[in-house]
Structure 1
Amino acid sequence: MSEYTVHSELRNIGAKTVHTARLHRFISDTPTEHHGTDTGPSPVEYLLGALGACLGASAAAYAHSPKYKVKLSKFDMDFTAET
């Protein structure tokens, strides 16, 4: 079993949030039209990136198996929200 922890701290500027995972820091924010300062990807963009990372990690795991031939190297993650 693996455990994962991300510490998040909301800054006093728009929706800017600084996250720390192990030794890695990353910023999320929202575009200015959503009251953010656009200093980083939005939470939805990070979610899409996380899904893409899972897909990539799975493809990489299969690529190391002699049973499979994996040619996937690029893919897009899209999301449309109704407002």
Structure 2
Amino acid sequence: MQPEKLYHIYNHANGNENLFKETENYNYFLGQWSKYIEPIANTLAYCLMPNHFHALVLMKRQEEVEATFGKFRTFQKFKVLNHN
């Protein structure tokens, strides 16, 4: 994800399953969202439904994220393994 870009984040449960079965499930999800997403992105809109969710987020500026977490290291490139 890139700083200062908009993203539509969504997920859907498998088959006829529900992600959210009780009010506590919604509250837990929003608590986790606040813990992990809010430090790096501003949530512009969201919709939670029993079997899926949508969110529109604006990623924060790199400087804002680094002020909270420090500088990020980039992931090393994956090595290609050949099985001959």
Give the TM-score of the pair, scaled to structure 2: 0.30
Higher relative contact order (CA 8 A, sep 6+): 2
Give the TM-score of the pair, scaled to structure 1: 0.31
Larger strand percent: 2
